[in-house]
Structures are given as C-alpha cells and as structure tokens.
Amino acid sequence: MSTPFSRRQVLRAAAGLVAVGVVSTLGGCVGGSAAPAGGSDTTTLHLVGFAVPKEANNAIQKKFAETPEGKGVVWEESYGASGDQSRAVVNGLKADYVNFSLEGDVTRLVKAGLVADDWNAGPTKGIVSDSVVVIVVPKGNPLGIKGWDDLTKDGVKIITPNPASSGSARWNILAAYQQVIADGGSEADAKAYLTKFFGNVAALPGSGRDATNAFLEGAGNVLISYENEAILARQSGEDFDYIVPDATLKIENPGAVLEDADPKAKTYLDFVLSTAGQEEFVAKGFRSVNAETPVGTVEGANDPANPFPVPAKLFTIADLGGWTAVNTTFFEEKTGIVPEIQKATGKSQ
C-alpha cells in the first residue's frame, strides 16, 4: 500500500520526478509491490509526460491493469515540463507513449522520426484530454478578482509557468491575450494587456505543477492554471477558490505512441480514449474528449454536480490560426510577441 500524502507533498513528489529520472509502477499503482520489470509475464511500458496529468495517468494505468490487455504491464515514467520532456525523448529518453501539453511537443518527435506523421488522424485528432484556463485565488478571494481585467491592478502578484519550458504557460498566456480579442479588442489592445499582465507576474516556475507549488507556498496571490489542476488540488485538501473566466481558452493535451513502441502501448492509448479511460480523466478534473463519457459528481469542482460549466466565450488554438502560426507569432525566440514583452518587462526568467 502506498503511504497517504498531503496535497503539497504529492505535488512536490510529482515535480521531483524530473530530478529522480523515472519512477516505476505496476499496473498504475504507485508505491505498490511490483514484480521485477522484464519478467516472463510482464511488459514494461515507458511513459514520458508533462507533470499535470500524472495522477490521472496513474488512475488509468490501474484500471487498464484490470483488463486482459493490461495484465502484467509494468510502467516506468518520467514527468516534467512538457517542452523539456519532449526534447529529452528526442535526445534519447526511452518512451513508448508520450502525453504532452502541446501539439508542438509531439510534432518535434514527428520531425525526429520517432512518431508517425498520422499520429493525429483519429477522431480526437491526437488529443487525449481537455481542460480550460482558470484563475486561482486564495480562499475568500481577498482581492475580489472576477476576471482578466482585475489581473492588471495594483497589488496583484501573478504566478504562471515559464513559456520557455512549459506548455501550461503557453496556454495561459494565449488565453490572456485572446480574451481581449474575444471581447472586441484589437491585436494592439491584446498586446498592451499582455504587457500589463507580465508587469504583475511575480514568478515564472518551470512547469505547471511547479507553478501550483509556488502558489500554495505563498509566492503570489493569483495563479493562472488548468481547471483540472485546481480541482485536483482541492480534492487533495487544498483550500482556495478558482474562477472560470467568461472568456477563456480550451486546453487540448495530446498523446501519442512512438514508432518503435511495444504494441501494448497502442492498446493502452485506445484504452485512454475509451469511456473507461476518460472516466478517470474526468474524476481528476479534466474534460473528456469522448462525448459518450458519463460525467457524474466531481469533487473539488466549484459545483461538483455540474463540474464543467461552458464559458460564454470559449476559444481554441484554431481561432488563433493553429499552432504553427501561434508559435511563430507569439513564441519565436527573437521576434515573438511573448519574448519581446518578457524582455521589456524584465520577466524573462
């Protein structure tokens, strides 16, 4: 049996996987007794992912182990910032299945010849989980934050991950920018807002999970995060409020099997996309990519009986022109809008 952890200990443990390298599990049961990897009746699969969905992945692995196809599967996992994890796989980190924050982190593996060109040809276009960008504040919302406009006021200290390493950061920043457009503003207005937003940034941690840790430890008074990350933290005992803005961005996280992966990795991906797999994502606060997935009570949500309200203005990466255009316009190191604003505001680190 695994030892129960407080929420903060769980978050630190997940973030610590980067330094440790990998953690082995059997059937998705972290901390349980495991048969030696590579035994005659076991199959070792390697999962490399961004930090945020670790708990959901482990729950799916456990349920997969209860199926005939999943029996005897042993997991070796590595979690960290999405971009860093993607580059690590290109540089030789073993992976059968990857679960990243951004499509571009899978595209990097396609260009390296590690993932098939048609990885995103299925019904969900390669996406395994959805969420939305939310605003997290201390319990009672002492600053009276209601939406994006309040984040540029005096006294606000924003925590959001560093876009140089974190996929979560890119979703957050694009949401902050595009909500201005969604409300009728111009591109110049959106850039001006983003400059004020960065002016109030107090910390740029390396990953979405590191950003949650920093907020819980008091490094700022506003966290820009995934809805599922806020729900999971509250499920684990943390006491804060979160706001789903009227205008926000739909987060779409991809998963893919590598070309030289063990065949069971494809079976696992199929299970992830099934209603059984998606139910585990939902239970941890993610929005399902499978319309047939039942959504019951989700503890930790603002309204557990109606956990996933539809924002009045929900936009997608397609509304910004797709990832190729987005990466060039916003994140190109020398000419992108975001690096320029970070440099101008002194918030590059």
Residue with tokens 């209603």: 275
Three-state DSSP class for 121?
coil
What is the per-residue pLDDT for 348? 79
Give the phi and the psi of residue 47 in degrees, each rounded to 5. -110, 125
Cβ count near 10 (within 10 Å): 18
pLDDT band at 40 (very low <50, low <70, confident <90, very high): low
Which is it for strands 222-226 and 127-138: parallel, antiparallel or unpaired? antiparallel
- pLDDT, tens digit (0-9, with 9 covering 90-100), for 60-119: 999 999 999 999 999 999 999 899 999 999 999 999 999 999 999 999 999 999 999 999
The candidate with the shortest Cα–Cα distance to 295, out of 249, 125, 245, 285, is 285
Q: pLDDT band at 180, cuts 50/70/90?
A: very high
Predicted confidence at residue 60, as pLDDT, reads: 98
* Confidence check: pLDDT of 3 > 60: no
Structure confidence by residue, pLDDT tens digits, 258-286: 999 999 999 999 999 999 999 999 999 99
